[in-house]
Amino acid sequence: MKKIFLVLSLLLCSTLLFTACEQKTGMEKTETTVTSEDVKEETGEAFETAKEFIEQEKEEYVKKIALRLEEYDKEIEKLEAKAKGMKDEAKKELDAEIDELKQKREAVGTKLDEIKNASGKAWEDIKSGTDKAIDDMGEAIKKASSHFK
């Protein structure tokens, strides 16, 4: 019971103290006038910050896709090495899949170049197509690798 009374007393005291401080700082506030120049300056700063953020996102995305392409290039090289050791129909089939993978790789590379050259938010429009293309390529590599073990 004493603990509850003590806690309530502390709570009441802190509330009164907080209210008194709030009233004091409220009296010290002065009005400031915001000019159109202030708005223009802050808008310009916000625009530049947003632009830098979008550019950073784009750079990170380009690096991520480039790394995946490097991994996929290595997988294609492994498949090419495997195809050299094959004969007849199996070799033809694997060579055809490798050609298809190289076409997909070229398409992703083209999209990546488009993103690198895109300005502002335009790269985000290209991003979804690039995501789909790189995912398709990954699935095709998995399929070819598992089919020709």
Domain ranges (residues) in the chain:
45-149
d(CA 68, CA 61): 11
pLDDT beyond 80 at 4: no
pLDDT beyond 60 at 85: yes
The predicted-structure confidence for 37-84, as pLDDT tens digits, reads as follows 888 788 888 888 988 898 899 999 999 999 999 999 999 999 999 999
How much is the pTM? 0.69
Q: What pLDDT was estimated at residue 103?
A: 95
More confident call, 4 vs 77: 77
Q: How far is CA 22 from the centre of its chain?
A: 43
